[in-house]
Amino acid sequence: MHLLEVDGIEAGYGPIRALDGVSLTVDEGELVAIIGANGAGKTTLLMTISGVVPTRRGEVRLADRRITGLEPHEIVRLGIGHAPEGRRIFPRLTVRENLELGGFVQEDRQRVNRDIDEACGLFPVLAQRMGQLGGTLSGGEQQMLALARALVGRPRLLLLDEPSLGLAPLIVARIFEVIAGLTARGIAVVLVEQNARAALKLAARGYVLETGRITLTGSGPDLAADPRVRDAYLGE
């Protein structure tokens, strides 16, 4: 049984159909990359899985449970975390308050505190910024906060949307290092990333999304070696 099954979903905005019959699977502890051009529907795909964008047709299942039509907070409680494009932290809340909100699904506050400590172990700079407002952090620190906040919710599946966007190379390297380590902890990851080369290097499998449809799929190495992928997304 797959952890996540997306079966023929259609979704969009008003008359615009952004996803047209998309199907994919993710297994426990697997990292799956979604690559494609801007406007291909990658962000919409993640938002549909997490319930932010309604599914018009098809269904999404988590551990064989149908989650199509559930509210986003219900989907979070079932084990899907989402670190969206643009970070979407709360700029007027402190770093600690942002992290505490990531644990809203947990009733055990001591466990939330332990999870916050664990997340700060991945990104030690956050421990130094606990009382600082989120909006005053650098772009790289905000991305670390967004990822750490999602992890405090103890997800089984983590959706990551453009985690390296606009960041300095050293910060990107640390972000990808943490992402690579998540699968060793049993957390499955769906990674949307413009840096296709880095994404496919991390991924066990990948999908190419073009104008709302999956056009290619394969292992990370196989897609990275595919001439169509190399020409369109790797700049070769």
Of 66-80, 96-110, 146-160, 190-204, give the lowest mean pLDDT range.
96-110
Could you give the angle at which helices 139-152 and 95-102 cross, rounded to 10 degrees?
Answer: 30
Convert the pLDDT of each residue in 6-17 to its tens digit: 999 999 999 999
Report the distance separating Cα 47 and Cα 84, nearest Å: 8
What pTM, to 2 d.p., does this model score? Answer: 0.91
Which of 49, 42, 45 is CA-nearest to residue 67?
49
Query: Does pLDDT of 86 surpass 90?
Result: no
Average confidence score pLDDT of the chain: 93
Torsions phi, psi of 118, nearest 5? -65, -40
Q: Would you place residue 236 in the very low, low, confident or very high pLDDT band (cuts 50, 70, 90)?
A: low
- The DSSP result for 33-101, as a single string, is EEE--TTSSHHHHHHHHTTSS--SEEEEEETTEE-TT--HHHHHHHTEEEE-TT----TTSBHHHHHHH
Torsions phi, psi of 86, nearest 5? 85, 5
The reported pLDDT for the residue numbered 221 is 95
Listed by start position, the domains of the chain span 1-79+155-236, 86-154
CATH of 1-79+155-236 among 3.40.50.1820, 3.40.50.1980, 3.40.1030.10, 3.40.50.300: 3.40.50.300
Convert the pLDDT of each residue in 136-178 to its tens digit: 999 889 999 999 999 998 899 999 999 988 888 888 999 999 9
Report the distance separating Cα 135 and Cα 83, nearest Å: 16
For residues 216 and 226, is the Cβ–Cβ distance under 8 A? yes
Which of 38, 11, 37 is CA-nearest to residue 22?
11
Report the distance separating Cα 206 and Cα 217, nearest Å: 6
Query: Does pLDDT of 225 surpass 90?
Result: yes
Convert the pLDDT of each residue in 91-100 to its tens digit: 999 999 999 9
The whole-angstrom distance between residue 179's C-alpha and the CA centroid of its chain comes to: 10
